[in-house]
Amino acid sequence: MNLYKLNEILPLINDKNSCLEHKCQTILVPLPPNQIGKTKTNIKRILEESSNEITKKLNGFLLAIGKIRLLSDVGQTFQDEPTLWVPVRLNFILFIPERGRRVRAIISKLGKKHIACLIHRRFNASFHRDTIPPVYHNFIFKLGQPVLLEIIECDVVDKILDIKTTLVEVNKEIKKE
């Protein structure tokens, strides 16, 4: 999964309905011997490729990585393995969906029984039409329409995030991207 640049997502941090968290942390990144040449580039690629494993450790879904700062010119090896472990300091943004939190999304698919949305243009969320509040029963939903959702359930199924939500509010303006 391609990650956003940190400065693209950073303005959304202050929105309480974004479920985003900015963190700065030191981690050890495993660098295979054939990737020692361009260390920073290869570290970023490894982080992007292993974002599912990182997700488990950080209790959130990696959305953006900032500048990678090497803390040492020399990596470490453990036992007899050929992998070089490089200590790096990272600024990154996590998407942390939690039950009961509200999040902004854009309608991406209109089905007969449910409506699918995209959160931060990356994560799928859906809500059933029969859970729509009475205020919106006669409302005509359109693709690209911003909505405010409340997270009911959040699971990872086959490395794919599955977010079940309920509709809280609809913005009547259609967002163009």
Which residue spans within the chain are E strands per DSSP? 4-5, 20-31, 61-70, 84-95, 102-110, 114-119, 123-128, 146-157, 160-170
What pTM did the predictor assign? 0.81
pLDDT (tens digit per residue) in 103-116: 999 999 999 999 99
Report the range of poorest mean pLDDT among 5-9, 25-29, 171-175: 171-175
What number is the average pLDDT over the span 151-158? 88
DSSP type of residue 76: B
Q: Is the pLDDT at 74 greater than 90, yes or no?
A: no
Confidence at residue 117, expressed as pLDDT on a 0 to 100 scale: 96
Q: What is the 3-state secondary structure (H, E, C) of 97-147?
A: CCCCCEEEEEEEEECCCEEEEEECCCEEEEEEHHHCCHHHCCCCCCCCCEE
Confidence at residue 1, expressed as pLDDT on a 0 to 100 scale: 60
**In the block, which residue shows the tokens 């290869």?**
42
Confidence at residue 118, expressed as pLDDT on a 0 to 100 scale: 96
Q: Is the pLDDT at 176 greater than 60, yes or no?
A: no
Phi, then psi, of 61 in degrees rounded to 5 = -105, 125
Report the range of poorest mean pLDDT among 54-58, 133-137, 156-160: 54-58
Report the range of poorest mean pLDDT among 13-22, 77-86, 114-123: 77-86
What number is the average pLDDT over the span 72-92? 83
Taking the CA atoms of 15, 18, 21 and 22 in sequence, report the sign of the dihedral they define: negative
Q: C-alpha dihedral over 35, 39, 41, 45, to 10 degrees? A: 50
Report the range of poorest mean pLDDT among 54-58, 103-107, 141-145, 168-172: 54-58
The rounded distance, in Å, linking the Cα atoms of 167 and 69 is 41
Query: 41 versus 122: which is more confidently predicted?
Result: 122
Sketch out the chain's domains with CATH numbers. 4-95 (3.30.1490.120), 102-170 (2.40.50.140)
